[in-house]
Amino acid sequence: MTKKRETLGKISSDLLQKQPEERSVVELERSMQEDYLDHLKECVATHAKIFPDNFYIVVITKNEKLMPNVFRNYFSARLSCPTPEYDQSVFKYIKESEHVEYLWTVPSKDACIHLKENAQYVVKEEQELLRFVLHFLDGTLLNVSKHLNGESIDSILLA
């Protein structure tokens, strides 16, 4: 007899009603990072066989609308550097050295607003994220993307 599996919605609902677990924040963060890195490595390995040259890995983070405690990361690869967007992290894979370079992370729109409005209170560990947010908002990341794609930065001003 097969055991009936619970749906993600039921698990999410149960977790929302439950008392918070007594797991350390560091332990949870480490677990999430390991999973993230595993998916990143898998995406790189898959696309390194397909693409003949350097490529970009784009990670889009989505929050499930009906399950506020469920976030999913979607990993994809492309030959051109993407336009910076909310809920996005971008990496560049350099084929010659087999190196993955971290380019940026732009969090959700709400998080960007919060970080910008509270810049003077941002802790040391979140300073890099604040810098990415400020560069996203002032167009610097768009210029970086255009430069990496060999596009003229002047074309931004004409658009």
The reported pTM is 0.77
Alpha helices in the chain (DSSP H): 8-17, 25-50, 109-117, 127-137, 140-148, 154-158
Task: Give the percent of the chain with pLDDT over 70.
Answer: 72
pLDDT band at 28, cuts 50/70/90?
Answer: very low
pLDDT of residue 25: 41
- Whole-angstrom Cα distance, residue 39 to residue 33? 10
CB 93 within 8 A of CB 100: yes
Asked if pLDDT for residue 85 goes beyond 90, the answer is: yes
pLDDT band at 65, cuts 50/70/90?
Answer: confident
How far apart, in Å, are the Cα atoms of 145 and each of 85, 122, 125, 126, 148?
Answer: 11, 26, 25, 23, 5
Closest alpha carbon to 111 in 90, 136, 92 = 136
pLDDT band at 23, cuts 50/70/90?
Answer: very low
pLDDT band at 134, cuts 50/70/90?
Answer: very high
Q: What would the mean pLDDT of 82-106 be, rounded to a whole number?
A: 96
Asked if pLDDT for residue 145 goes beyond 80, the answer is: yes
pLDDT band at 17, cuts 50/70/90?
Answer: low
